[in-house]
């Protein structure tokens, strides 16, 4: 199946990316557009999913962007990789659980390349290194077209999490690859692209 690959090195505003995803969903729905895998980073942005509660905002000065993805409030900031996708499940398996499991598997395989052992958790969506969360997942399915994606903390400023209750968690329970390994990570985009494309074949 033909998937467009986008790897963007400059920071992309969250609202711009969201509009881009929505346009692609409509295009695929109308039988015109290609599926999409887009790897990027956002400037510091707080976004709220459909299960967000106001009490999860600890610093009332921050601006929250509400979105239709699953999950609660989270942070995007430089040094965190975002893996967005738009996949047409009408031409794949109509199985949302399988989709989530393949995303989880992709993140776990990616982290393993850098000698970081991680796991998924049925009760708490996302990927964990011991008791700390290193990657978040939030998806939306419309007319069996799945979009949004996941984020992986590579070397981002974890202090920004102190302004919220991220994903319903104590903000001290968030970690990053750099915090675990304290070194430079090479070929991030290349490895993300290869692993996700490979596992999309199982969706």
Query: Mean pLDDT, consecutive 10-residue segments, the chain of 203 residues?
Result: 92 97 96 96 93 90 89 92 98 95 97 96 88 93 96 96 83 88 90 97 93
- Note whether 85 and 38 are within 8 A (CB): yes
Quote the pLDDT of residue 1: 60
167 counts as catalytic: yes
pLDDT value of residue 51: 85
Q: Give the model's pLDDT for residue 44.
A: 97
Query: In the chain, where do the E strands start and end?
Result: 3-7, 35-40, 45-48, 64-66, 73-76, 80-88, 119-120, 127-129, 132-142, 145-153
Spatial separation of the C-alpha atoms in residues 124 and 100, rounded to whole Å: 12
Q: All domains of the chain, ordered by start, with CATH?
A: 3-200 (3.30.930.10)
Per-residue model confidence (pLDDT) at position 160: 94
Q: Please identify which of the residues 111, 135, 152, 167 carries the catalytic annotation.
A: 167
Residue 128 burial (10 A CB sphere; 0-12, 13-18, 19+)? middle
The pLDDT score that the predictor gives to residue 122 is 79
Q: What is the pLDDT of residue 183?
A: 80
Which pTM was predicted?
Answer: 0.94
């Amino acid at each position: 199946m033909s998937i467009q690959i986008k790897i963007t090195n400059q920071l992309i505003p969250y609202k711009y990316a969201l509009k881009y995803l929505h346009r692609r969903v409509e295009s695929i729905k109308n039988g015109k557009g290609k599926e999409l895998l887009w790897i990027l980073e956002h400037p510091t942005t707080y976004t709220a999913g459909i299960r967000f509660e106001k009490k999860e905002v600890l610093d009332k000065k921050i601006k929250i962007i509400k979105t239709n993805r699953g999950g609660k409030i989270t942070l995007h900031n430089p040094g965190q990789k975002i893996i967005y996708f738009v996949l047409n499940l009408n031409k794949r398996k109509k199985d949302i659980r399988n989709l989530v499991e393949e995303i989880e598997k992709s993140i776990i395989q990616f982290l393993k390349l850098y000698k970081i052992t991680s796991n998924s958790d049925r009760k708490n969506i996302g990927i964990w290194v011991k008791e700390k969360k290193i990657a978040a997942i939030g998806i939306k399915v419309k007319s069996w077209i799945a979009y949004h994606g996941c984020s992986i903390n590579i070397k981002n400023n974890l202090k920004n999490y102190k302004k919220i209750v991220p994903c319903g968690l104590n903000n001290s329970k968030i970690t990053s690859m750099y915090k675990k390994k304290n070194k430079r990570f090479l070929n991030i985009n290349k490895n993300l692209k290869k692993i996700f494309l490979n596992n999309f074949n199982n969706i």
